[in-house]
Chain A
Amino acid sequence: MATRGFTGRRPPEATRERLPPGQYLTEDFPVLQLGPTPRIDLATWRFTLRDGAKPLKSWSWEAFEALPRTTWQGDIHCVTKWSKFDTAWEGVTVDDILADAGVAAPTEFALAEGYDDYTTNVPVADLRGGRAMVATRYAGAPIPPDHGGPARLLVPHLYFWKSAKWVNGLRFTKKDEAGFWELRGYHMYGDPWREQRFTGD
């Protein structure tokens, strides 16, 4: 159904091809989070890999920064409708984290956990094969706290709520367990190209 009188301000063709349905391009970097930005001290920062409740390995900031580093450049898409093109991140891929821990992913599902008690679920297949990293730098500088620094998950092929800010761990789970937003009606998987914003999309 066309909306009476709406013509729209169409972006150029090259932009439209890169925009998933319902998204618009922004030059800013808006912020989405459910509460205030937590205050995190690098001296006590830790990242912990867990199989259920059992810790597999834990890294201090120094140890984490010493892991092999990977850069990624590309587009990110937020469920609140903005997309941002050509963002540049640097961090440690989940593959390299697992390799350093000397383990294979013990299950097919994972929950990313944050310092603000946020959680979000991602299938392990979407974290492996260079598709996800724990990022510690954005545009060549440490990630600002409002954008999830010191470290955030980056799963850029899914809506950005899956890229948990202030991440402090990955927990492997036997089943696909809903995280914070997924319990509140957001989609379990969240593919922007299939516009999976909410349950049932």
Chain B
Amino acid sequence: MTERAALRWQEAEIAAIEPVTGRVRSFRFRVDFAERFRPGQHVDVRLTAPDGYQAQRSYSIASAPDASGTIELMIEHLDEGEVSGFFASVAEVGDRIELRGPIGGSFVWTGRDAGPLLLVGGGSGVVPLLAMLRHRDAAAPDVRALLLYSARTRSEMIAREELEARARDEPGFTLMLALTREPGGRRIDRARIDAALGALGAPAHAFVCGSNPFVSAASDLLLDAGVPPGVIRTERFGG
């Protein structure tokens, strides 16, 4: 896949804002590429102060490509966060925010890529995986998929109700949780990875997303469990 067209900045209006968890808000932005991006891709957002000072950050697209004319971003409020703090407490519906995209050509899954599809997400790292699951439902429901999702607590799970409903209603989709701060909770370890691989079978594609330490640990566990390196794609949010 070759993408050599220029990416230009556009002013995107915030069409809707919804709370997702105590620290995560969902934003719908009006953009001209809502139908033509691939699940897993992200956008760059650029904020400008009155004196011209600018801050840029990347945010994954949570929605699947569709005809709505909007994309959804889910932004977690980090303590002292310069850009996430703006989105947590300043941004309002109707604001116009500069962004450009879609960006990224490696951490992507389209319905044409076969399954089984293994998704491993930590915290807000579930966002691009959600886009893949939404797209799978719309475009490739026969592809078997499993999401292994690590969050601190049930209430900090992003899109919990949606994910649980998908696990209940969509044949071929399995949700496995690793809630690290619930009583008896534990991190993703080799036993969880083996259980996921046992339930899914050998994945054709594995996508791992989250903080740096999460992605390093989870992708090492996948290698230890025998998943070939060429199958695994990673996206690191920082931290």
Q: Which chain B residues (92-137) contact chain A, with CB distance < 8 Å?
A: 95-98, 103-107
B233→A184 contact, CB < 8 A: no
A36→B234 contact, CB < 8 A: yes
* Contact-residue bracket for chain A: 35 or more
B49→A146 contact, CB < 8 A: no
Q: How far is the CA of A33 from the CA of B236 in the complex (A)?
A: 8
Q: How far is the CA of A7 from the CA of B80 in the complex (A)?
A: 14
Q: Which of A8, A32, A180 has the most CB of B within 10 A?
A: A8
A43 to chain B, nearest CB (A): 19
- Taking A22-B46, A184-B1, A185-B7 as contacts, is the C-beta distance between A34 and B234 under 8 angstroms? yes
B2 to chain A, nearest CB (A): 6
For chain B, what secondary structure do more than half of its interface residues adopt (helix, strand, loop), or is it mixed?
Answer: mixed
B6→A199 contact, CB < 8 A: yes
- Taking A2-B48, A3-B48 as contacts, is the C-beta distance between A39 and B57 under 8 angstroms? no
B236→A24 contact, CB < 8 A: no
A10→B53 contact, CB < 8 A: yes
Q: How far is the CA of A37 from the CA of B19 in the complex (A)?
A: 36
A192 to chain B, nearest CB (A): 12
For chain A, what secondary structure do more than half of its interface residues adopt (helix, strand, loop), or is it mixed?
Answer: loop
B90→A6 contact, CB < 8 A: yes
A14: chain B residues at CB < 8 Å are none
Q: Which of A36, A39, A80, A180 has the most CB of B within 10 A?
A: A36
Q: B11 — nearest CB in chain A belongs to which residue?
A: A1
Does A106 reach chain B (CB closer than 8 Å)?
Answer: no
Q: Which of A7, A21, A117, A199 has the most CB of B within 10 A?
A: A7
Does A31 reach chain B (CB closer than 8 Å)?
Answer: yes
Q: B211 — nearest CB in chain A belongs to which residue?
A: A30
A5→B86 contact, CB < 8 A: yes
A31→B8 contact, CB < 8 A: no
Does B230 reach chain A (CB closer than 8 Å)?
Answer: yes
Task: List 11 A-B residue pairs with CB atoms under 8 Å apart, sorted by A's residue number.
Answer: A4-B95, A7-B50, A8-B47, A9-B80, A24-B55, A81-B56, A116-B229, A181-B106, A183-B1, A184-B104, A185-B103
